[in-house]
Structure 1
C-alpha cells in the first residue's frame, strides 16, 4: 500500500527520484500514465494488470469509454528505476502534469501520484479546507 507525501525535484532530462519507500513496493518495472486532476498515476505491474482487466470490460460502443481508454493508454509508459532511484518521465507526461521543477509524490492506496508542487499545494489546500464536507458527502456512497 502506498501512502505518504514526498517532495522531490525533476531535472532538465525529466529524471525524478522515486521515494525509497515506494521503490520497495514497485519492483523492477511499473507503469506511469496520465492521471486525473492534472497529476500522473503510477502503478505497480500487478495493480496495472488489474486495472487493464477492468478497462477491457468497458463497452466499445460507448464514445466516452473509447476516449478515456485511448487517452489513458496513449501516454502510459513502463518505467525502470536507475541506480540513483530515478525514473525518466517522457515529455507528454511532464506536460500533462505541468511539472517544471518541484514535484510531490503522494501514496494513494494501490497507486502513487506525481503532482507539480503548485498543483498539489492548490489541491491540498482546497481538500483541507473542505475535508469535513468531502467526508460527509462520501458517506452517501
Structure 2
C-alpha cells in the first residue's frame, strides 16, 4: 500500500526522485500515465495488469469507454528507476500535469500520484473544505 506525501523537484532532464518508501512497492518496472485532475498515476505492474483487464472488458461500442481507454493508454509509458531512484517523465506527461520544478508525490493505496506543487496546493485547499461532505457521500465509516 502506498501512502504519504513527499516533495521533490523535476530536474532539467525531466527526472524526479521517487520516494524510497515507494520504490519497493513499485518494483523494477512500472507504468506511468495520465491521471485524473491533471496529475500523473504510477502503477506497479501487477496493479496495471488488473486495471488493464478491467478496461479491456469495457464495451468498445460505448463512446465514453473508447475515449477513456484512449486517454489512459495513449499516455502510458513503462518506467524503471535509475541508480539514484529517479524516473524520467516523458515530456507529454510533464506537459499534461503542468510539471515545472516543484512536485508533490503522494501515495494513494494502490498507486502513486505526481502533482505539480501549485496544482496540489489548490486542489488540497478546495477539497479540504468539502472533505467531510465527500466522505459522508461515499463512505460508511462505522467502526
TM-score (structure 2 length as normaliser): 0.95
Q: How many residues align?
A: 140
1:118: which partner in 2?
118
Question: 2-side partners of 1:64 and 1:83: how far apart?
Answer: 40
- 2:58 corresponding residue in structure 1: 58
| 1:33-112 alignment, distance < 5 Å | 33-112=33-112
Q: 1:46, 1:108 → 2: CA distance?
A: 16
**For 1:5, what is the secondary structure of its paired residue?**
strand
Query: TM-score, normalised to structure 1's length?
Result: 0.97
Q: Distance in 2 between matches of 1:135 and 1:126?
A: 14
Aligned residue in 2 for 1:2 = 2
2:16 is matched with 16
Distance (whole Å) between structure 1 residues aligned to residue 131 and residue 105 of structure 2: 20
Pairwise CA RMSD of aligned residues?
0.9
Gaps of 5+ in 2: none
Shift of 1:15: 0.3
Q: CA deviation at 1:139?
A: 3.9
Equivalent position SS for 1:28: coil
**1:135 paired residue number:** 135
The 4+ residue runs of structure 1 with deviation greater than 6 A are none
Deviations 1:48-90 (A, max 9, x none): 0000000000001011111110111111000000000000000
Where 1:54 maps in the other structure, the secondary structure is helix
